Amino acid sequence: MNPLVAWVAELLLASWRRQEREGRYRGADDFRALHIDPADALASWRAATAPGAPWPDGLASGFDAAVRFPDALGLDAGETLVAALAVAVEVEPRLRPLVAALTDDPGARQPTVGLAAELADALDLPPAAVRAAVAPGGRLALFGLVATLAVPGRPSPADAWVVASGWLTDAVEGEESEANGLAWVTAEAADGVRTTVVSGADHLRHAESVAAPSGRAALWTNPRGETLPAAARAALLADAVLVAALDDVPPPELVAALSAVAEAGVRVAVSLAPGVSWVAPASWRVLTVSPAPAASRARRWADALARRGAVAHAEDLAALASEYPLGLDAIEEAAERAVAGWPADDPQVPTLGDLRLAARRTAWRDLSSCARPGPTGSGWDDLVVTDAIGGQLRDVAAAIGQRGRVLDDWGFGGRPGSRGYHVLFAGPSGTGKTMSAGVIAAATGLELWVVDLARVVDKYLGETEKAIDKVLRAAEASGAMLLFDEADALFGRRGEVKEAKDRWANVEVAFLLQRIEEHDGVTVLTTNVSHHLDEAFARRMSQRVEFTVPDASLRRRLWTASLPADAPLDARSDLETVADRFELAGGAIRTAALNAAYEAAAEGTPIGLRHLVRASVLELAKSGRPPTRADLGDLGVHLGAGR
């Protein structure tokens, strides 16, 4: 029998007998009519337990039977009494008749604030102790132990019920009840500081860096006001620091709630995701933590795999940690991906390829929010450009392929801002800029992701910068190549400040300039109008490739490449004449070839000269250059040909 429940029962019984002696118990007849006799209901307590221990030893032993409580939560005598009364009535229904008798309410099932005050008086506690215990900002509410509920039709605060929480009930009954959204972290013990804001790395790294003197931290992965009491209570009971993992600036109400639990004795840290900037209260310590080095990441990979019954070669993990600078929390997720689907009883030895794929897919999660996979499947042979442009593109691919040797082995990577490789592709639309980026990515073994400007550019101040920072960090972690198509829309020239929006636009461009310069990966920026780009961006490019509209010779090659070998081509189709007569870029030629094929297929004929001419004229018209009959000459006859 739980000594806490027995102690409360003795206390209630003594209070009831005192009421009888003092003539204050007026409801005997009412209770007998309902077949309620408090003395009979509690007769078993006299036989089963010794008289209640004196205050406060009885309560302490009852709580300690289930959990280090109430000392661990710092409850005072009044708070402990209210918690004990509420939970004892909850776990032992035989106490309810006595509660009903003491509150003069035959239907009562919960103790009241007034009853708690009467018991406090019997223990020589002042009435103010109970009032403070049930106050909204008290520890009972702060840690989610007891709720105070008003009774309909009874406006007096003394008539309000005190109800034990599910966690408190489970704890007294010896059942495990964990707070949701907490991940326990063990690390080397650190100095205990009540409130800290930490940034610079990932949430798991932050949690390890601010571990309480016990060496434990509770990483709160989904911080919300309604779950704070349980999270704070769990952290305090475990002597751990509560780390609120935030991917955005915390709302004021959450900051106030965290400050309140910190004042109540909980060590609190706010972990800011990379790219999140927040000015913490002046009393908070600010800590910047560097990302985990490659050696630490390799050890984390080994530990994460071992916990899942898998092992990997040390050299593979070293290479993996160097190639993919994932945060510690992302490594845990990637390790889970790497072993997913393996039989539980089968020794798991994932290959380096398995691990690389898991690392990339983990990082792609953040990439996919602002970017999409780029074009794939094309190689150098598919690229139709001038020899000069082709040579420049191969130089770019060669430089990207040698980054590891030059930056790491030769030491060039130690220079500030020198690890990234950024290329500008400038030229008219359809000249092969996007396709060239895909070819280079394939040649260097990188995944190409195209930044979706529609999901990046935001009208609200600071949101565009946050989105760009997020996608760049995800690209760094996954080793992906980023393509900013039509980059002048994002990296346009800074102009004269005439109104507030101009100032903020200039600030945005300045941030993007700095962030691109800091980016450790490979980026390709394309623009149709290079003079629209801010000059500072152009100066910081590792390479600049100028794409030009193809001449007649290149256009003939483009027409040939755009018509597959299986496509039925009329023998009289004169690709050379079409290429000479219509000045189209490569993208327009590919579109014209496809439209000509659709028209021919609809007619049930091979692709003829008439289809090619009509499709070419349509492409010229789309670009604002519709040819006249005089321009077409003898080819004009094909425009009048119908289906």
Q: Is the pLDDT of residue 36 over 90?
A: no
Over residues 177-181, the mean pLDDT reads: 60
User: What residue type is 299 in one-letter code?
Assistant: R
Domain boundary among 226, 254, 288: 288
> Does residue 500 sit in the same domain as residue 398?
yes
Q: What is the pLDDT of residue 61?
A: 46
Q: What is the pLDDT of residue 325?
A: 86
Q: Are the C-beta atoms of 19 and 25 separated by less than 8 Å?
A: yes
Q: What is the pLDDT of residue 249?
A: 86
Q: What is the pLDDT of residue 431?
A: 93
> Does residue 229 sit in the same domain as residue 348?
no
State how far Cα 502 lies from the chain centre. Answer: 32
Domain boundary among 546, 576, 599: 546
Distances (CA, A) of 589 to 64, 518, 554, 592, 619: 80, 38, 11, 5, 8
Q: Is the pLDDT of residue 20 over 80?
A: no
Over residues 43-60, the mean pLDDT reads: 43
Over residues 345-365, the mean pLDDT reads: 82
Q: β-strands 543-546, 448-451: how paired?
A: unpaired
> Does residue 228 sit in the same domain as residue 361?
no
The model's pLDDT over 56-84, given as tens digits with 9 standing for 90+, comes to 444 444 444 344 566 778 888 899 899 98
Tally of domains within the chain: 5
CA distance 575 to 558: 10
Q: What is the pLDDT of residue 555?
A: 95
> Does residue 395 sit in the same domain as residue 517?
yes
Identify the band that residue 187 occupies on the pLDDT scale cut at 50, 70 and 90: low
Over residues 124-133, the mean pLDDT reads: 89
The model's pLDDT over 191-234, given as tens digits with 9 standing for 90+, comes to 555 788 888 888 888 877 877 666 788 888 778 878 889 889 88
How crowded is the C-beta side of 550, counted as CA atoms within 13 Å? 28
Q: Is the pLDDT of residue 326 over 80?
A: yes
> Does residue 301 sit in the same domain as residue 215?
no
Residue 509 lies in a domain: yes
Identify the band that residue 363 occupies on the pLDDT scale cut at 50, 70 and 90: confident
Of 129-133, 234-238, 545-549, minimum mean pLDDT range: 234-238
CA distance 453 to 449: 12
Residues of the domain holding 408: 380-546
Q: Is the pLDDT of residue 47 over 60?
A: no
Residue 177 lies in a domain: no
Q: What is the pLDDT of residue 414?
A: 77
The chain-wide mean pLDDT, for the chain, equals 82
The model's pLDDT over 411-446, given as tens digits with 9 standing for 90+, comes to 888 777 668 899 999 999 999 999 999 999 999 989
Q: What is the pLDDT of residue 642?
A: 42
Domain boundary among 288, 314, 330: 288
Distances (CA, A) of 540 to 400, 485, 537: 16, 17, 5
> Does residue 494 sit in the same domain as residue 533?
yes
- Greatest mean pLDDT among 19-28, 36-45, 179-188, 324-333 lies in 324-333
Residue 370 lies in a domain: no
Q: Is the pLDDT of residue 372 over 70?
A: yes
CA distance 346 to 310: 9
Q: Where are the beta strands (DSSP E) in 26-144?
A: none
Give the number of other Cβ atoms within 10 Å of residue 222's Cβ.
Answer: 11
> Model-level pTM?
0.63
141 SS3 class = helix
Residue 371 lies in a domain: no
Q: What is the pLDDT of residue 26?
A: 52
Q: Are the C-beta atoms of 359 and 320 separated by less than 8 Å?
A: yes
Residue 373 lies in a domain: no
> Does residue 570 sit in the same domain as residue 595?
yes
Of 404-408, 514-518, 637-641, minimum mean pLDDT range: 637-641
Which of 338, 155, 196, 171 minimizes the C-alpha distance to 281?
A: 196
Q: What is the pLDDT of residue 176?
A: 58
> Does residue 23 sit in the same domain as residue 158?
yes
- Residue 434: which CATH number? 3.40.50.300
Q: Is the pLDDT of residue 181 over 70?
A: no
| Residue labelled with tokens 């598919």 | 382
> Does residue 632 sit in the same domain as residue 540?
no
* Token couple for 158: 């003394």
> Does residue 428 sit in the same domain as residue 328?
no
Q: What is the pLDDT of residue 366?
A: 80
* Token couple for 34: 């309902």
Report the alpha-carbon angle 166-171-175, nearest 5. Answer: 95
Of 25-34, 480-489, 589-598, minimum mean pLDDT range: 25-34
- Contact residues for 195 (Cβ-Cβ < 8 A; gap 6+): 258, 259, 262, 268, 269, 280, 281, 283, 284, 285
Residue 375 lies in a domain: no
Helix/strand/coil (H/E/C) assignment for every residue in 183-250: EEEECCCCCCCCEEEEECCCHHHHHHHCCCCCCEEEEECCCCHHHHHHHHHHHHHCCCEEEEEECCCC
Residue 536 lies in a domain: yes
> Does residue 538 sit in the same domain as residue 455?
yes
Q: Is the pLDDT of residue 489 over 80?
A: no
- Greatest mean pLDDT among 204-218, 393-407, 462-476 lies in 393-407
Residue 372 lies in a domain: no
Q: Is the pLDDT of residue 250 over 60?
A: yes
Q: What is the pLDDT of residue 474?
A: 87
Q: What is the pLDDT of residue 500?
A: 47
Percent of the chain past pLDDT 70, that is, above it, reads 83
> Does residue 163 sit in the same domain as residue 37?
yes
Q: What is the pLDDT of residue 98?
A: 81
Q: What is the pLDDT of residue 13?
A: 78
